[in-house]
């Protein structure tokens, strides 16, 4: 749902298309100035700098991340997506800097907050709540979260959307995509149109809090009898398109799980993995945002708290079935069926070259390792990320086959990557193969 505002600062959200375009133009100008300065520095030191090296300076990458954090909305959301899912066609340096966007967001000043709340509840909106806390307890890419009490006395939180976010989704994504393309960071042969079109549709859904309210109610009902999880209760009477109201749940950041014993860590992360598999293979409805702030821990009940269902995505049966077929093929060591299923998922897997075929198989073998390993997989001792990076370095040899990944795969792999990272941070051991057997 959100991120602690402790790393954030107050900054007005540019709410008009012109204002947001101006921020992108300023960003482009700053990056260009940085390139010229870096080029001059390298020439003076006797180097012959490449444009790509001048562009990817730490200062330029930081400049991009800072500006997207100020803009919030779809611009920031696209940066978050690319940081996790662009590894196969974005330089590692940029992806690492963009990863900062998963942890920080500025929050809006009172004037903008007041305007949004007035639009939702009228001029006397403050009278409808007790002890409204003007300082947000969290801030994310699309909205910020405030604690208060409802008139019936319940502790609640209100997620308030930044002004202009919903109507600027298309232009934000187009502007940032154009900047990436012009910069040369995304190779010319990669057609990002299908992915960008899908990202726009997904973000429109995320910016509609009435849709998120439906997802919250669905998950709350689905998990009502599951003693492993806690889900906030929706307050429909206080929910609008741009303000989402739900009960407040006393909990701690998910990182505190790392201080628990091995058995507890294993059980909690196993529960999260099991939920992910159920969402994908059974419900075909996955909360795809892997931000750690979306999961918290309630020590009093020893349960996981699930927050933020805006990024919930529904998957077609064909995609889920082909993914199931790919996992089964990997578990049986059937390379031909694995490649066939991956091709039907939308990946480019065949070019008649043994070298490229081996490269693709190496990627899938490493990525699917937790699902093909017998017994508990030790995520804390795993070097999957390092091996994927090492194999990915040879992607330069197959530039003619670079392409934007399938949209469904991008969104699902965001969730998978987030869960793997959580398991790694918690040094958990999970028998993922046995969990998947129920569905695969």
36 band by pLDDT with thresholds 50, 70 and 90 = very low
Which has more pLDDT, 184 or 106? 106
94 band by pLDDT with thresholds 50, 70 and 90 = low
Q: What does the pLDDT average to over 298-312? A: 94
Q: What is the pLDDT of residue 293?
A: 84
DSSP state letter for 128: G
Which of 176-180, 208-212, 245-249 is predicted least confidently?
176-180
85 band by pLDDT with thresholds 50, 70 and 90 = very low
Beta bridge partners of 313: 286
57 three-state secondary structure? coil
142 band by pLDDT with thresholds 50, 70 and 90 = confident
User: What's the mean per-residue pLDDT of the chain?
Assistant: 79
Which has more pLDDT, 145 or 21? 145
Residue 21 predicted with pLDDT over 50: no
Q: What is the pLDDT of residue 209?
A: 95
Residue 150 predicted with pLDDT over 90: yes
For residues 429 and 96, the answer to whether their CB atoms sit within 8 Å is no
Q: What is the pLDDT of residue 202?
A: 82
Q: Is 340 a catalytic residue?
A: no
Question: To which H or E segment does residue 147 belong?
Answer: strand 143-149
Q: What is the pLDDT of residues 267-300, one digit of tens each?
A: 999 999 999 999 999 999 999 987 888 899 999 9
Which has more pLDDT, 341 or 71? 341
Which has more pLDDT, 129 or 56? 129
43 band by pLDDT with thresholds 50, 70 and 90 = very low
CA distance linking residue 407 with residue 202, whole number of Å: 10
167 band by pLDDT with thresholds 50, 70 and 90 = confident
- 229-230, strands of its sheet edge to edge: 229-230, 303-306, 295-298, 252-253
Q: Residues 416, 174, 160, CA angle at the centre, nearest 5°?
A: 65
Contacts (Cβ under 8 Å, ≥6 apart) of 403: 189, 190, 191, 348
For residues 138 and 125, the answer to whether their CB atoms sit within 8 Å is no
CA distance linking residue 392 with residue 11, whole number of Å: 38
Chain centre distance of CA 224: 26
* Domain range annotation of the chain: 5-106+167-185, 251-440
Provide the token pair at 5.
């505002």
Residue 117 predicted with pLDDT over 90: yes
Q: How many CB atoms lie within 10 A of CB 103?
A: 15
> Of 226, 295, 289, 291, which Cα lies nearest the Cα of 258?
295
- Alpha helices per DSSP H over 86-238: 92-98, 110-121, 169-183, 193-206, 209-222
Task: Say if strands 252-253 and 243-247 run parallel, antiparallel, or are unpaired.
Answer: unpaired
Chain centre distance of CA 164: 21
Q: What does the pLDDT average to over 403-429? A: 87
For residues 286 and 312, the answer to whether their CB atoms sit within 8 Å is yes
Q: What is the pLDDT of residues 352-378, one digit of tens each?
A: 678 878 888 888 899 999 999 999 999
Share of the chain above pLDDT 90, in %: 47
> Which one of the listed residues 289, 358, 383, 397 is annotated catalytic?
289
Exposure on the CB side of residue 204, measured as CA atoms within 13 A: 9
Residue 175 predicted with pLDDT over 50: yes
Q: What is the pLDDT of residue 71?
A: 52
Q: Is the pTM of this model over 0.85?
A: no
Q: What is the pLDDT of residue 34?
A: 44
């Amino acid at each position: 749902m959100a991120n602690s505002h402790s790393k954030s600062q107050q900054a007005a959200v540019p709410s008009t298309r012109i204002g947001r375009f101006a921020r992108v133009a300023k960003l482009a100008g700053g990056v260009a100035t940085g390139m010229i300065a870096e080029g001059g520095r390298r020439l003076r030191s006797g180097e012959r700098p490449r444009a790509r090296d001048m562009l990817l300076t730490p200062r330029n990458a930081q400049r991009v991340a800072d500006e997207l954090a100020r803009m919030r909305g779809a611009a920031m959301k696209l940066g978050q997506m690319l940081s996790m899912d662009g590894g196969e066609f974005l330089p590692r340096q940029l992806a690492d800097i963009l990863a900062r966007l998963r942890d920080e967001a500025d929050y809006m000043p009172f004037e903008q907050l007041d305007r949004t709340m007035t639009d939702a509840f009228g001029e006397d909106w403050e009278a409808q709540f007790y002890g409204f806390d003007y300082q947000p307890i969290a801030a994310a890419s699309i909205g910020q979260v405030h604690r208060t009490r409802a008139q019936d006395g319940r502790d609640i939180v209100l997620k308030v959307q930044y002004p202009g976010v919903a109507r600027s989704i298309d232009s934000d994504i187009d502007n940032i995509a154009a900047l990436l393309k012009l910069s040369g960071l995304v190779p010319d042969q990669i057609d990002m149109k299908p992915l960008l079109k899908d990202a726009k549709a997904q973000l429109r859904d995320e910016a509609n809090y009435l849709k998120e309210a439906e997802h919250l109610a669905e998950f709350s009902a689905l998990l009502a009898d599951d003693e492993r999880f806690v889900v906030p209760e929706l307050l429909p009477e206080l929910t609008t398109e741009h303000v989402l109201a739900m009960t407040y749940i006393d909990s701690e950041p998910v990182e505190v799980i790392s201080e628990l014993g091995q058995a507890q860590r294993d059980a909690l992360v196993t529960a999260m993995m099991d939920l992910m598999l159920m969402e994908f293979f059974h419900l075909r409805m996955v909360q795809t945002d892997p931000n750690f702030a979306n999961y918290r821990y309630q020590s009093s009940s020893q349960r996981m708290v699930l927050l933020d269902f805006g990024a919930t995505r529904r998957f077609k049966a064909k995609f889920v079935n082909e993914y199931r077929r790919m996992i089964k093929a990997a578990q049986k060591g059937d390379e031909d069926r694995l490649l066939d299923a991956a091709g039907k998922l939308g990946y480019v897997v065949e070019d008649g070259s043994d070298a490229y075929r081996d490269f693709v198989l190496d990627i899938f073998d490493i990525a699917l390792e937790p699902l093909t390993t017998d017994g508990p997989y030790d995520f804390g001792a795993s070097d999957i990320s390092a091996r994927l990076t090492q194999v990915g370095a040879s992607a330069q040899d197959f530039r003619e086959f670079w392409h934007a990944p399938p949209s469904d795969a991008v969104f699902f792999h965001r969730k998978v990557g987030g869960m793997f990272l959580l398991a790694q941070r918690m040094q958990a051991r999970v028998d993922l193969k046995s969990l998947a057997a129920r569905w695969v």
